[in-house]
Amino acid sequence: MCGRYASSAGRTELTEIFEIDEVAGPLPAPAWNIAPTDPVPAIFERVRDGDRRRLLAEVRWGLVPSWSKDASGAARLINARVETVGEKPAFRKAFASRRCLLPADGYYEWYTVPATGGGKPVKQPYFIGPSDGGLFAMAGLYEFWKAPDGSWLTTATVITTSATDEVGHLHDRMPMSVPAENWSAWLDPGFGPDARELLTVEVSGLTFHPVSTAVNKVANDGPELVEPVAL
């Protein structure tokens, strides 16, 4: 799964990289320890007067289906398995026409180090990201939910798949990404074929390293959290 990630690119950088037409409202501040239900930047497209407009906006991580009675289950829907994303009731409609990109520096996984000398096993956090230091355009879905008071909430989830051998020993799942040449089709609400064909699994473009256990506490944040540490 992808349960924590970093996204530090600002408005100007994201606008240039993703060729944004409109920034819809204020964006969340750069963050290196994003947890479920936190605000995150997302890129998606809406059709207005027949024209497709690419938007950059803040959403909340953890999808709330439009038919949900409340938003309490959002933390459980931070990931959608690519194998079933087109069939699961929680994701089916969003997968058909509400696909998005979730920009990330990388994501965290915890590897259990066996106990030695009678001690307890230790969960060591690792940071996984593009080896070139660029952005990881995670494949996502977004949804609109109307609260009982009439306010609207926009939420998103990350699509995951089986992890490659490079990072599979850390965790058996990993986020899927959308290559730049497929961004337009992936974001197109009217794209007809199975959109799963537009996704890719990073095979050789990822690197990973151990990081400080300070990331374990969601209140901690800062670029130092993604820096390598010696084990």
For residues 178 and 200, is the Cβ–Cβ distance under 8 A? Answer: yes
Is-catalytic flag, 109? yes
Pair of tokens at residue 97: 């026409």
In 3D, which of 108, 98, 104, 27 has the Cα closest to residue 63? 98
Pair of tokens at residue 11: 């408005």
**Angle at CA of residue 179, ends 32 and 96, nearest 5°:** 95
Residue 173: enclosing H or E segment and its boundaries?
A: strand 173-175
Q: Tokens 């490659």 belong to which residue?
A: 164
Is-catalytic flag, 2? yes
The per-type count for the chain, helices as H runs and strands as E runs, is 4, 13
Q: Which of 2, 45, 100, 202 is catalytic?
A: 2
Q: Which of 45, 100, 109, 143 is catalytic?
A: 109
For residues 46 and 53, is the Cβ–Cβ distance under 8 A? Answer: yes
d(CA 167, CA 49): 44
For residue 180, the SS3 value is helix
In 3D, which of 78, 81, 130 has the Cα closest to residue 107? 130
Active site residue ranges = 2, 109
